[in-house]
Amino acid sequence: MRLPLIAGNWKMHGTIRESVDLAKALRTALENFEGPEVLVAPPYLALAGTRRVFEGTKIKLGAQDMHWEPKGAFTGEVSSTMLKDVGVTHVIIGHSERRHIIGESNDLINKKVRAAIAAALTPILCVGELLEERNMKVTKEVVERQTTKALEGVSPADASSVVMAYEPVWAIGTGLTATPFVAQETHHFIRNVLSRVVGAGVAENMRILYGGSVKADNAKELMGQPDVDGLLVGGASLDAAAFNKIARYKES
C-alpha cells in the first residue's frame, strides 16, 4: 500500500522569521497528527530555522531544487551535501517554474534526479503540460517524454525511491484545478509509463502526487482517486490552517 504524502512548496515566500513562524503554527496544528506523511519545502535560507522547529515531529524537510554536483565553482547554487547537512530528506526536481521560467531541460533534470538518488535524497520529480499543450491534446506525449528522459540511467531499484508529481502547468497558481477525473486519468497514464521504464512492480509502489491549485475543499476528492497518492501544495501551504485541513483531508 502506498503511503500518502502531503507536501507543501513554499516557493520564494517568507523571510526567515516569517518561515519560522509558519513552521511553528504548522507544528501546533499537526500536533499528534497520525495521517499521511507530511513534508514542507521552505526557501533555502529558512531551512535551518524550520528544521529546528520541526525537531521531534514527523514533519519532513524538503528543498525546492539542487545542483547536480556535490560541490564546486557554481555560484549561487546549492548542493545535495549542503541540503543533507541542514536536515533535508527530499528535494523537488523539475518543477514547472524551473522548467518554463528558468529554462531547465529534461537532460538537466535527469542529472539532478540521479545526483539526488546518489546522495540518498528522495527526488520529487515533477512533470506536466502547458495550457497550449493540453489544448493541442499532447498531454500524454509531454508527460511521457518528461518522465522517460528524467529517469534515463536510473535503475529500477533506485527508481523505487522516486516520488512523481503531476502538475498541469495551466492549474498552478491560476485557481484552476484538474478535475479528479483528469488527475486520475493522467496519473494512471504516468504509472503505465513507469511500468514500461522501471517495471510494473516498482511502478505500482511509486507515489504520484497531484499539484495544481490544491485547496482544502478539493483535497479529499482528489485523494479519493486510486492513482493519486498525495498532493504537492503551493499557495495553500503558506497558510497553516489551510495546509492542516489539506493534510487532514480524511477528516472532512
pLDDT tens profile 32-79: 899 999 999 999 999 999 999 999 999 999 999 999 999 999 999 999
Contact partners, residue 89, CB within 8 Å, separation at least 6: 39, 60, 61, 62, 121, 122
Distance CA 110, CA 92 (A): 13
Residues labelled as active-site residues: 95, 167
pLDDT in tens, 78-102: 999 999 999 999 999 999 999 999 9
Q: Which of 55-69, 145-159, 160-174, 237-251 has the lowest mean pLDDT?
A: 160-174
Q: What is the average per-residue pLDDT within 6-20?
A: 98
**pTM exceeds 0.85, yes or no:** yes
Distance CA 212, CA 96 (A): 11
**Distances in whole angstroms, Cα of residue 39 to Cα of each of 48, 194, 211:** 15, 24, 14
Q: What local confidence, expressed as pLDDT, does residue 185 receive?
A: 97
Q: What local confidence, expressed as pLDDT, does residue 252 receive?
A: 79
Q: Which domains does the chain have, with CATH numbers?
A: 5-251 (3.20.20.70)
